Amino acid sequence: MAGGTDSQLFCFFVISCFFLCGYAEVRYSFTEKQRYDGWFNNLAHPDWGSVDGHMTRKTPPAYADGVYMMAGQDRPSPRKLSTMFMKGADGMGSAKNRTALLAFFGQVVSSEVVMASESGCPIEVHNIEIDKCDEMYDKECEGGKSIPFHRAGYDRKTGQSPNSPREQINRVTSWIDGSFIYSTSEAWVTAMRTFKNGTFKSDDTGKLPVKNTMRVPLFNQPVPHVLRTLSPERLFLLGDPRSNQNPALLSFGILFFRWHNVIAARVQAEHPDWSDEEVFQRARRIVIATLQNIILYEYLPAFLGQELPPYDGYKLDTHPGITHVFQSSAFRFGHTLIPPGIYRRDGKCNYRKTHMGNPALRLCAHWWDSGDVMHDSSLEELMMGMTSQLAEKEDTVLCSDVRDKLFGPNEFSRRDLGALNIMRGRDNGVPDYNTVRQYFRLPKRKTWEEINPTLFEEQPELLASLTKAYGTNVDNVDLYIGGMLESDDGPGELFTAIIIEQFVRLRESDRFWFENIDNEIFTEDEIEEIRQVTMWDVIVNAADVK
């Protein structure tokens, strides 16, 4: 999408004309089943892209001691930086008509390829300093307050010398292999399956997954309005442990759960003599292929404002690892698009208010309480709401529900997503903004004004604040800060380069990629049909949306 036209952005999550029909001439090789844990995708390097693999570096680590100590210890407090340039008014709509559906689908994409912010064991605490009289976290001006921050888990065999600096671990596969839907282990997906007709278990209505009565290890954080952890059996059993975090993410989990069952029913109808396992694996292959197509060729062009280069075939020697600069900085640009609430619309497109009379479901009131939302809302209402709701403006501002109230209101947890983003880059030893630009073959910026002349002309007070915090030397600026400052109507030059590099590698390194004709999973006609499948097709086929 050259230039990111509004029409294509609108088409991404609102309209389309294709429907995934049955595969008339399915040809399937049962000689190899793609593993859930990511192993043996690359036959020469079987561990590449697998669960618990190392994150990848495209730049040298910049730990304070060259080994493991957090980078940027001479830089301002992340909370101070967040307050300085990520605070702003909620409700400023996207300049490019990006939808809330696009904003929240970004969390699905992130969950699909990376989970690398979870605490290690034992937990390493490195709290974020809060200034005295902070308007949210120290209203009584007592001082001495901090935001809890846990350093990410890492390979314990690293971080012992400059020759082996700390290497963080990715807890999921880096492949776009449907791990968000199917999990990363055989045991987990077994708990989700009926072992009849290739389908997932569902409740009596057939529209929702079963609850987690088997106590699969889903993430189960305290519910803000209850102030304690509730039973894990209240959660929906889905493939990603984070699926129940918020209503939007849970909606996507349920949508793709239904999508699998829809495809499985079609495969079963076409091949009544196939076993449950054959139907399940074929449906899985089709679902993964459609997910790959949607992410690479629909979501990313809408998110970035430009298309990726054409597919050039499978490359055995390309590493699929997720880079630190992608995970801790560049792809977190999407946080600025997140709205503070989610609208719901009924079948006649009328807005549906909450029981309290509010027009939207506020995120801050529903963290880790999404199951209750689904008992009072339908998937269709949430999808209709998000497709017709604008995302927040593409700028440096994060809405208050994630900047001040993550995860919960009433100062329940004192967590600021903007500050956490900055801190995660330092935790991972990510170099400064200018150093990363050099490694991505972009010219260094010599002054603040060069980063974004238009922004600083419009907001001279922001320039003054940043100069006061960092000084005039822009060679010691956090990557997340510098990259966000480049933003105009989408990710800036550096973040765009990082994101494109990451997804091009994921595509060309994947032996099971749907466009790789050599793997004999799909015929050329089937590949072309998959290319026509959009997010709209998934919604209208898996949800009762007309």
Q: Domain for residue 479, yes or no? A: yes
pLDDT band at 349, cuts 50/70/90?
confident
pLDDT band at 504, cuts 50/70/90?
very high
Report the candidate in 267, 364, 321, 332 with the shortest Cα–Cα distance to residue 494.
332
Backbone angles phi, psi at 61, to 5 degrees: -65, 150
Write out the binding residues for heme b: 335
Instruction: Give the pairing type, strands 361-362 and 169-170.
Output: unpaired
pLDDT band at 32, cuts 50/70/90?
confident
Q: Which DSSP string corresponds to 25-75?
A: T-----S----TT-TTSSSSSTTTT-TTEEPB-SS----TTSSSSPS-TTS
Domain that holds residue 290: 6-22+59-87+97-136+152-542
More confident residue, 22 or 335: 335
The answer, yes or no, to whether residue 207 has pLDDT greater than 90, is yes
- pLDDT, tens only, 254-300: 999 999 999 999 999 999 999 999 999 999 999 999 999 999 999 99
Helix, strand, or coil (residue 381): helix
Provide the pLDDT for residue 27. 45
Provide the pLDDT for residue 258. 98
Highest mean pLDDT among 346-355, 456-465, 533-542: 533-542
- Mean predicted confidence (pLDDT) in 302-306: 98
* All residues at 6 or more sequence positions from 310 whose CB lies less than 8 Å from its CB, including other chains: none
Q: Domain for residue 143, yes or no? A: no
Alpha helix segments (H runs only) across 151-275: 179-182, 186-192, 247-270
> Which two tokens mark 327?
């995970």
- pLDDT, tens only, 532-541: 999 999 999 9
The answer, yes or no, to whether residue 248 has pLDDT greater than 80, is yes
The distance from CA 410 to its chain's CA centroid, rounded to whole angstroms, is: 26
Q: Domain for residue 457, yes or no? A: yes
Q: Across the strands, what pairs with 152?
A: 119
Provide the pLDDT for residue 253. 98
Identify whether the C-beta of residue 84 lies closer than 8 Å to the C-beta of residue 465: yes
Provide the pLDDT for residue 31. 57
The answer, yes or no, to whether residue 340 has pLDDT greater than 80, is yes
Which 3-state string (H, E, C) describes 48-59?
CCCCCEECECCC
- pLDDT, tens only, 210-243: 999 999 999 998 888 787 888 999 999 999 999 9
- Mean predicted confidence (pLDDT) in 178-193: 98
Report the candidate in 21, 41, 60, 165 with the shortest Cα–Cα distance to residue 510.
41
Provide the pLDDT for residue 357. 82
Write out the binding residues: 335
Provide the pLDDT for residue 358. 85
- Which residue matches tokens 């972009």? 442
Provide the pLDDT for residue 278. 96
d(C-alpha 366, C-alpha 480), whole Å = 27
Q: Domain for residue 92, yes or no? A: no
d(C-alpha 101, C-alpha 85), whole Å = 25
> Which two tokens mark 408?
């919960």
The answer, yes or no, to whether residue 22 has pLDDT greater than 70, is no
Helices and strands, number each (H, E), in the chain: 21, 6
pLDDT band at 413, cuts 50/70/90?
low
Provide the pLDDT for residue 225. 77
Helix, strand, or coil (residue 202): strand
Half-sphere exposure in the Cβ direction for 9 (13 Å, CA):
25
Q: Domain for residue 532, yes or no? A: yes
d(C-alpha 260, C-alpha 183), whole Å = 13
Q: Domain for residue 346, yes or no? A: yes
More confident residue, 431 or 23: 431
Q: Domain for residue 145, yes or no? A: no
Q: How far is CA 17 from CA 208, 262, 307, in A?
A: 26, 19, 21
pLDDT band at 412, cuts 50/70/90?
low
Which 3-state string (H, E, C) describes 168-189?
EEECCCCCCCCHHHHCCCHHHH
Provide the pLDDT for residue 480. 98
Provide the pLDDT for residue 53. 98
Provide the pLDDT for residue 372. 82
The answer, yes or no, to whether residue 18 has pLDDT greater than 50, is no
Q: Which DSSP string corresponds to 202-235?
A: B-TTSSSBPB-TT------PPBTTTTB---GGGS
Provide the pLDDT for residue 365. 85
d(C-alpha 494, C-alpha 537), whole Å = 33
- Mean predicted confidence (pLDDT) in 367-377: 84
The answer, yes or no, to whether residue 54 has pLDDT greater than 50, is yes
Identify whether the C-beta of residue 545 lies closer than 8 Å to the C-beta of residue 539: yes
- Mean predicted confidence (pLDDT) in 476-497: 97
Identify whether the C-beta of residue 487 lies closer than 8 Å to the C-beta of residue 480: no
Q: Domain for residue 36, yes or no? A: no
Provide the pLDDT for residue 14. 40
C-beta neighbour count of 11 within 10 angstroms: 18
The answer, yes or no, to whether residue 344 has pLDDT greater than 60, is yes
The answer, yes or no, to whether residue 19 has pLDDT greater than 50, is no
CATH number of the domain encompassing residue 495: 1.10.640.10
> Which two tokens mark 50?
């697998």
d(C-alpha 493, C-alpha 478), whole Å = 16
Of all residues in the chain, the percent with pLDDT exceeding 90 is 83
Identify whether the C-beta of residue 305 lies closer than 8 Å to the C-beta of residue 96: yes
If one counts the domains in the chain, the total is 1
- Mean predicted confidence (pLDDT) in 494-520: 98
- Rounded to the nearest integer, the mean pLDDT of the chain is 92
